[in-house]
Amino acid sequence: MNEIKGTTKLCGLIGNPVEHSISPLIHNTLANLCGLDMVYTTFRVEAGNVDCAVKGAHALNILGMNVTVPHKQEVIAALEDIDPIAQSIGAVNTLVRTAHGYKGYNTDILGLARELEEEGVSLADAEVVLLGAGGAARAIAFLCVEKGAKHVTILNRTVEKAQAIAQDVNAHFQTQTVEAQPIDAYKTFTQEGYIVLQTSSVGLYPNSDKTLIEDEVFYQKAAVGVDIIYNPAETKFMKLMKQQGKPAYNGLKMLLYQGVSAFELWNDVQVTAEQAQEVYTLMKKELGINEE
């Protein structure tokens, strides 16, 4: 760890809870690898205190902030500026210091985009199925259309939530690429070779034996699956994909690369593939994930 001096820049995470976050490991390791005089810690912020926390952070000359649940929407009102895609998504997870306040970005989708690229999964001209219709699904639906997906189907138990996302994304891009369906609509699928992005919290530890769709037919028709959950390291969704001989990935690299993207924005640097891999190895060790 670098020595903390009077010149040391401070970054941090606001959310509630934050005590078990792996973000300090990511950013403090990156600061060491890049030789930067910066440290990163966490700040627990209660609901209703986000505006004063952000303004206080700016007054204290804090270089940048990450934002986690439940503040990704509330923080927008406290910003000086916002990246257009983050504005459209309606969620911000990274604050970059400007002269009079912070500019908000959504590096969650940047993180997923980099994970998909690294794993050789292209959204361009692809059939995509999203499982779930929460905040993550909303961001990922924007990413899919932005990257040129041919068609995106959002499957969710409450179809109205999926419809709201589809309407917003289609309106933003002036397209009809995204549609909403109830979960069991997969039974009527005629398409095959689709990319499945599991965006719900179903299957998150300790409910590791659950997933939204159990039917093996759904997985037989898929080409590849990505789960944004990283605990457990292999979810029930991933196991069902692999049982059909299909590649499946968890969300740990998405978490890595959203952090890398934020770090690059704050410090105006480019993190190398080797540096990112070193952080990834430490993340797996911290989480008790064995090497494959």
Q: In sequence order, what are the residues at sequence separation of 6 or more whose Cβ sits closer than 8 angstroms to the Cβ of residue 195?
A: 121, 123, 126, 127, 128, 129, 222, 223, 224, 225, 226
Q: In sequence order, what are the residues at sequence separation of 6 or more whose Cβ sits closer than 8 angstroms to the Cβ of residue 238?
A: 225, 227, 248, 249, 250
Q: Which of 72, 103, 236, 253 is catalytic?
A: 72
Hey, what are 235's tokens?
């979810």
Identify whether 239 is a catalytic site residue: no
Listed in order, strand segments (DSSP E) in the chain are 9-15, 38-44, 64-67, 81-82, 94-97, 102-105, 127-131, 151-156, 178-182, 194-198, 222-227, 248-249
> Which residues have a catalytic role annotated?
72
